[in-house]
Structure 1
Amino acid sequence: MRAGRGGRAGAAGRAGRGAVAVALAAVVLAASACGAPPSGAGPDSADLAGRAPRADATGGVAPDPDGRPVALVYRGPAACEGCPEAAHDLLEHDGYAVRYIGPEEEVRFGPDALSGAALYVQPGGTNGQEVSTAWRLLQRDPGFSPELVRAYVRGGGHYLGLCMGGYLAGHDPGYGLLPGDSGQYIGSRGATVTDEQDHLVDVSWRGQPRRMYFQDGPYFDVEGPDARVLARYTNDRAAAVVAPYGSGRVAVTGPHPEAPADWYRDYGLPDESPTGLALGEDLVHTLVGTEPKS
């Protein structure tokens, strides 16, 4: 997750990274999540001031004028500060027109809100935030329904879950998009990271050793011949997976390929952001069935 990034803790499920928002303190009891860096990578005041809710912006995604595929990134109380923006930058670098969807955004959840989108992204959650809390916060959005996302993917859409978004691709609570479920890596046997702090984690990505930004992210237990494991932690738990759901596909990852350089810098970690960017592009292109730019 991240000082807002995303994870599942114990039986209740956790999501973690960074500082816990004061507004959530009353509802978060024992949590961890994916989240935003101390320096605050969230939207600036000018962006917030110019962003008014639009209840009518739920009737499908307008095409991009330049013909780029459109990605919708969730930005709201179930995501950490900085996590939607990091996903935005990863996808924009890869040629997507990126728009935010959420209770304070111009694009709002509604019956046809995801129509026309090439990709829906559920980013990391706030450190100390239970998965169940993030799920409740999503459902408080008056236009949101889990079935909206399920129907979108089932009908041929694509879901990208980053850390907390990976937890939420699982079951109870979650969208139930995976042919299996998600679990908390730091509590798994043989885990090389065993606390909720920000670390580099070692994975094998397509058989090659890589180090990635990690904060209490999930692992995935998946079954079926069409579930493709792109990366594994050193204890052999799946760290990144692409799997079908109906006519669409789902991609999930426990580590953060979208992590920008300042996330590493804020926690005194060696900067692996160029590697992460390349792995993120590989994940996205495997999800949508296209070739990476590089």
Structure 2
Amino acid sequence: MAATLLTTTSGSRREAEPLSALVYRGPGACDGCAEAVAALLKLGPRPFKVRYVGPGEEVPLTAAGLAEADVYAQPGGDDDLDGTWEGLKGAAGAIRDWTRGGGRYLGFCMGGYLAGSDPGFGLLPGDTDEYIASSGASVRDERDTVVPVMWKGASRHMYFQDGPVFVLDDGADASVLARYDNGTVAAVVAPYGKGRVGVVGPHPEADSSWYSDAGLSNPDGVRFDLAHDLVEETLKGL
């Protein structure tokens, strides 16, 4: 991985440089979604050196491009999962191999769908489905809205637009961070080989402009602690 460590004269270890994150920005990513994830990572409790990856970006989405990164983040996208997958499936093997070798995959909304397997990178112990199609869902269409979740037992609200639920295999080795109001899984972290995969269906990275542009408000206020918690849980071991 990219971050290196130095040993001080007292024998303790400290990071010599920030962790390195690649954020996908390219076909299939929605306007502003990559930038919101990049801002989250740059300003978090453990700030990252962030670069964009994808067609025409400074880093190609290849095994060589991923090799120097600690985290790969797949942001939200448009509504066409199959179309987005067509543009990304050529990199699926490289993403799987990199994660299996110790990389950290972060997926937000569409990035969560893509962590599944039908279609997707196949990084989860299970698959994904639409929350709006799940039994007892309080939202039944693709409009931008705010949904309640239980995040580690606490009631919170997040920006939402047709995000996934995560359907885990029986006995899956995974930590559920959040559930929607109908009990389905809204955020989860799971190991993948030596790496870890952290995914979320709603948008904890959404800033105030997302809410104002959609005419929405968050009763909890616009806060990023849930997004930071997802990142930190995914980083465990680094």
TM superposition score normalised by structure 2? 0.89
Q: Does 1:274 align with 2:233?
A: no
Residue in 1 aligned with 2:65? 113
RMSD: 2.0
Looking at structure 2, the residues matched to 203 and 290 of structure 1 have their Cα atoms a distance apart, in angstroms, of 27
Equivalent residues in 2 for 1:155-174 (5 A)?
155-174=101-120
Identity of aligned residues (%): 52
Matches of 2:118 and 2:236, distance apart in 1:
29
For the Cα contact (< 8 Å) 2:102–2:196, is it kept in 1?
A: yes
Give matches, 1:1-294, under 5 Å. 67-94=17-44, 95-126=47-78, 129-139=79-89, 144-223=90-169, 224-271=171-218, 274-275=222-223, 277-289=224-236
CA distance in 2, matches of 1:99, 1:174: 23
Q: Provide the aligned length of Structure 1 versus Structure 2.
A: 224
Query: Separation in 1 of the partners of 2:221 and 2:67?
Result: 32
Gaps of 5+ in 2: 5-15
Counterpart-to-counterpart distance in 1, 2:236 and 2:130: 28
1:155-214 C-alpha deviation (Å, 9 max, x unpaired) = 011000000000000012100000000000001110011110010001000000001000
Q: How far apart are residue 61 of structure 1 and its match?
A: 6.6
Q: For the Cα contact (< 8 Å) 1:61–1:114, is it kept in 2?
A: no
User: 1:258, 1:273 within 8 Å by CA — same for their partners in 2?
Assistant: no
Moved beyond 6 Å, runs of 4+: 60-63
* Structure 1: gaps (5+ residues): 1-59
- Cα deviation 1:79-114 (Å, max 9, x = unaligned): 111000000011001111110000010111223211
The TM-score, its normalising length taken from structure 1, stands at: 0.72
Q: Relative CO higher for 1 or 2, CA cutoff 8 Å, sep ≥ 6?
A: 1
Alpha-carbon distance in 2 for matches of 1:62, 1:112: 16
Q: What code does the residue aligned with 1:83 have?
A: C
Q: 1:265 to 1:189 in 2, by over 3 A?
A: same
The C-alpha deviation readout for 1:99-155, integer Å capped at 9, x for no partner, is 0000010111223211121100011011xx32111001224xxxx421100001000
SS of the equivalent of 2:64 reads coil
Between Structure 1 and Structure 2, the one with more strand by share is: 2
SS at match of 1:165: helix
Counterparts of 1:134 and 1:268, CA distance in 2: 27
1:39 equivalent in structure 2: none
